Structure 1
Amino acid sequence: MTYRFKLRVYYEDTDLAGIVYYANYLRFIERARSEWVRSLGVDQVALKADAGMVFAVRRIEADYLAPAKFDDEVEVVTSVESVTGVRLVLKQDVTRAGQVLFSSIVTLVALNEQGAPARLPANFRRNLH
């Protein structure tokens, strides 16, 4: 399963040299993950309200390979690497015209209201295959 999310690099995303500030790649992949989860039919607001559960990033590995620049159209490509009852590992790349600019491996967990790890919702896990 691969999910693609397009976005435009705005001036606010860049540094004085006109290239994307490194931390903004994390914002880009977060937006893509939120839209990906929504596309799977999961309402994160309802999940928190009804089940007291939220998703959290536990770990991220990031490689900055080439710069994105002001006004570039980039695409975040998200794919599932692995899933268990409590953990989801995603590969998320930011690309421009097929060239990988930023590559990451993101480990997500579900947390309950007390902030302790919880099982990923079964309907969510089923939609990943």
Structure 2
Amino acid sequence: MSAQTNLSQTFHFPVQIYYEDTDFSGVVYHPNFLKYFERAREHVIGAQKLQQLWQEQGIGFAVYRADMGCFEGVEFADVVDIRTQFYFDGPYRSVWLQEVWRPGASKAAVKAEIEMVSMNKDKQLCPLPADVLALLGQ
């Protein structure tokens, strides 16, 4: 994990675990955590803002690297709390620290560090937009 100097506040996003999210044993199939993390990041920035950035400025975000550890099973019918913090690491990259917490748990069931880069419509790196930096408190 990179050194974080300006770690954001913690954002919370609830996720209901449905049967379709689980494997044969009733435990969440691990790739689904990446979907939950994506939804939580979208919630932090806002769907309308992401759509506006793409339509008006031709700027979007892509996962550059993801590191995830699954430490405890999350099961069908759980309602989990996706906890998200982030920091900026240079002009093009943001790093998102995300965790899945089960109700009443004393530790995270899943942890991930996801590096995102800002890209234009030509799939070239571009600086993080000033309005996104302002929106996210930087």
| TM-score over 0.5 (shorter chain) | yes
TM-score range, shorter chain: over 0.9
The equivalences for 1:10-89 within 5 A come to 10-38=18-46, 43-89=49-95
Deviations 1:30-69 (A, max 9, x none): 1111111118xx6111111111111111101101110100
Query: How big is the alpha-carbon RMSD for the aligned residues of Structure 1 and Structure 2?
Result: 1.4
SS of 1:16's equivalent? Answer: coil
C-alpha distance in 2 between matches for 1:65 and 1:18: 16
SS of 1:43's equivalent? Answer: helix
Of 104, 118, 121, 1:110 maps to 118
C-alpha distance in 2 between matches for 1:44 and 1:82: 17
C-alpha distance in 1 between matches for 2:87 and 2:121: 27
Contact 1:92 1:104 in 2 (8 A): yes
Structure 1 gap ranges (5+): none
From the two aligned structures, give the one with the greater strand fraction.
Answer: 1
Structure 2 gap ranges (5+): 1-8
Give the superposition deviation at 1:85.
1.5
Contact 1:80 1:128 in 2 (8 A): no
SS of 2:26's equivalent? Answer: coil
Identity %: 30
Q: Which runs of 4+ in 1 moved over 3 A?
A: none
C-alpha distance in 1 between matches for 2:136 and 2:53: 17
TM-score where L is the length of structure 1: 0.92
Deviations 1:64-116 (A, max 9, x none): 11010000010110001444211101100011124311100010111101001
TM-score where L is the length of structure 2: 0.86
Contact 1:83 1:125 in 2 (8 A): no
